[in-house]
């Protein structure tokens, strides 16, 4: 069961990085929104990681 969660975290990380790189190529508000979606995914992963150690 632990490996499923880790695989899900890895998938979210990869999708977030792809969104950031795709958004960086698009100039304008659409690219900014795509990059913000990727940043939200990375921040969610950081939140879930740090939640374990509180």
Confidence tier at 43 by pLDDT (50, 70, 90)? very high
Whether 32 has a pLDDT exceeding 90, the answer reads: yes
Whether 54 has a pLDDT exceeding 90, the answer reads: no
Whether 12 has a pLDDT exceeding 90, the answer reads: yes
Instruction: Please write the tens of the pLDDT for every residue from 16-25.
Output: 999 999 999 9
What per-residue confidence (pLDDT) applies to 1?
Answer: 86
Mean local confidence (pLDDT), 8-29: 94
For 52, which DSSP code?
Answer: T
| Residue 16 near residue 39, CB atoms below 8 Å | yes
């Amino acid at each position: 069961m632990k490996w499923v969660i880790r695989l899900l975290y890895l998938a979210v990380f990869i999708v977030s990085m792809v969104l950031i790189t795709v958004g960086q190529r698009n100039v304008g508000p659409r690219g900014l929104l795509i990059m913000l979606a990727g940043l939200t995914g990375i921040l969610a992963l950081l939140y879930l990681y740090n939640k374990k150690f509180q």
